[in-house]
Chains A and B, each alone.
Chain A
Amino acid sequence: MTNDIHRTIDAIWRIEAAKLIASLTRMMRDVSLAEDLAQDALVIALEKWPELGIPDNPGAWLMTTAKRRAIDLIRRTKVRGQKYAELSRQLEWVTEEDIDGAIDGEIGDDLLRLIFMTCHPSLSQEARVALTLRLLCGLSTNEIARSFLVPESTIAQRIVRAKRTLSAVKIPFEVPEGAELKERLSTVLEVIYLMFNEGYSATSGEQWFKPVLCQEALRLGRVLAEIAPSEPEVHGLVALMEIQSSRLKTRVRPTGDPVLLMDQHRAQWDRLLIHRGLQALERSQRLGRTWGPYALQAAISACHAQAPTPDDTNWTRIAALYEALSRVAPSPIVELNRAVAISMAFGPEYGLQLIDELSQDQYLKDYHLLPSVRGELLMKLGRKEEAREALLRAAAMTQNTREQELLMKKAADCEQ
């Protein structure tokens, strides 16, 4: 029974945590303090609810409790001002009236301010991801540590340090405006997509994907689409994640072996997520005059999603979309993908030509997909010996054991 109620409290916490922390950060002007107060409220709930039952409006209950703690804290620090010098300096500008009279503003605005804070450029990339998972997704330190396969203490430290930085730099709790908005928003989107990708494909180790992070990133993306509905790239990112998620279940066999896009069982793709992705893409396109990098990637992903069989893939369109992408977000990886699309649309010899040009690129020197793609194209051209060499080289370069096995198998196939 107590376990049941604890699991229920967990579920309520997951629903309420971000909103609670966001509102408290607005009141206390400090995210660290806000989280502490929210946690205090949770502890009190864990004590009281098993006995008193779950209140009708648990969110409001938690908020009231946290506010009461905040007022207690202000009173105490004022009495013992000297002893708690640091805290009292922090609280100097917050009065009891601020908290008592705090109007429940549009919660979406607070959440948006909070995500701009947890994804602030003054934090390291790793810290942004950890803090966002913790404060906006309500994940415990332990859960975050498990998804990144690092010790819990590492994540705990990362979060403490991040909060300290935010307090020290005195990051205002606001949504950036004007030209700054675009730049800061792209940092937020980057954090969410990084989270998603970390879940989608592990760079090393036995695990091919870690769905928890994918789900959290997608959920956060959907939330962001509601609180920042006029930003085309937000919908572009959501579209990309929805469509990629539609293939989550088909990308791996029960044995753990990866299945490549062209070999996946398309009937098992999640139609609902594809539909949601296409809708999000449409929403993005209605808003944007030009396509941003996420919308373009989503459009490419949509081409695959809309092809009933691999042979129906509109490679000419994909090649054109990659070309557009290489203009707004130039990278050797995009070029590599463009080469693949071109070879599919116009023949392997055209793709190979591009790949060989790319091989000169400094950044791609250690990138295993380059020899991997080169091997595939050579195989199609019947140049088996060269293909085998390239595939073996690719296998030696990747860290992912599953991928390694797949490449070795392909190399062996060349000998037949």
Chain B
Amino acid sequence: MRFMMIVKATTDSEAGKLPSQELIEAMHKYNEELVKAGVMLAGDGLMPSSSGIRISYPEPGGKPKVVDGPFTEAKEMIAGYTLIEVKSREEAIEWALRMPDPHGFGQGEIELRQVYESEDLTSDAEFLSKEAELRKQLMEKQRS
């Protein structure tokens, strides 16, 4: 299963202030560990929201509203992500716990979210039986 480890933005990351050399090195080492364990799929750091764009749909069916950054509420924004492939939810948590505190001054926050995969649908017994049932109904309809 895939998980995204989302590193939340902070006042520093939003200000475009780079983390300390020490933290950069620790992150490097951590990423290397992920790669060496064969679990890392992808990862990137994001620029501050000052160069971001927000597109919203305030009215259903209406035109989109385009707003340039910066945005407020740092905690609701993200500063980076790492996508990992693991065997269990616990393994994802274990890897996330091994990530260095991403900001190191009390604002560091990592959010773990599981990625949808279509296997989740196809291997689900309930889904399969529903499919089969639907198929049967269709066949019967065609016959009648």
Contacts and interface: CB of A to CB of B under 8 A. Distances in A.
**Residues of B in contact with A, size category:** 20 to 34
Pick from A221, A252, A272 the residue with the most CB of B within 10 Å.
A272
A249 B131 CA distance: 17
A8 B90 contact: yes
Given A10-B90, A11-B88, A15-B94, A219 B38 contact: yes
Contact of B42 (A219, A249, A272): A272
B36 A226 contact: yes
Nearest to A248: B119
B132 interface: yes
A259 to B, nearest CB: 12
A334 interface: no
B41 A276 contact: yes
Contact of B128 (A226, A249, A254): A254
Interface string B84-111: 0111111101110000000000000000
Interface string A183-222: 0000000000000000000000000000100010011111
Nearest to A58: B94
A295 B141 CA distance: 51
A369 interface: no
Q: Interface residues of B: mostly helix, strand, loop or mixed? A: helix
A8 B94 contact: yes
A360 interface: no
B122 to A, nearest CB: 5
A258 interface: no
A11 B90 contact: yes
Interface residues of A, number: 26
B83 interface: yes
Contacts of B119: 211, 248-249
B90 A268 contact: no
Contacts of B86: 11
B67 interface: no
Contacts of B41: 272, 276
A11 B122 contact: no
A46 interface: no
A248 B38 CA distance: 19
B22 to A, nearest CB: 18
Contacts of A12: 94
Contacts of B131: 254-255
A14 interface: yes
A380 interface: no
Interface in A391-412: none
Contact of A254 (B37, B39, B121): B121
A350 B88 CA distance: 50
Contacts of B39: 219
Given A11-B88, A11-B93, A255-B132, A223 B37 contact: yes
Contact of A108 (B36, B117, B118, B122): B36
B35 A226 contact: yes
A10 B41 CA distance: 22
A227 B37 CA distance: 10
A146 interface: no
Contact of B83 (A220, A255, A272): A272
Contact of B36 (A215, A227, A272): A227
A-B pairs with the 10 shortest C-beta distances?
A: A222-B38, A11-B90, A219-B38, A11-B91, A223-B38, A7-B90, A249-B118, A11-B94, A226-B36, A8-B90
18 contacts: A10-B90, A12-B94, A14-B88, A15-B94, A219-B37, A219-B38, A219-B85, A220-B38, A221-B38, A223-B38, A226-B38, A227-B36, A249-B119, A252-B122, A255-B128, A255-B135, A272-B42, A272-B83
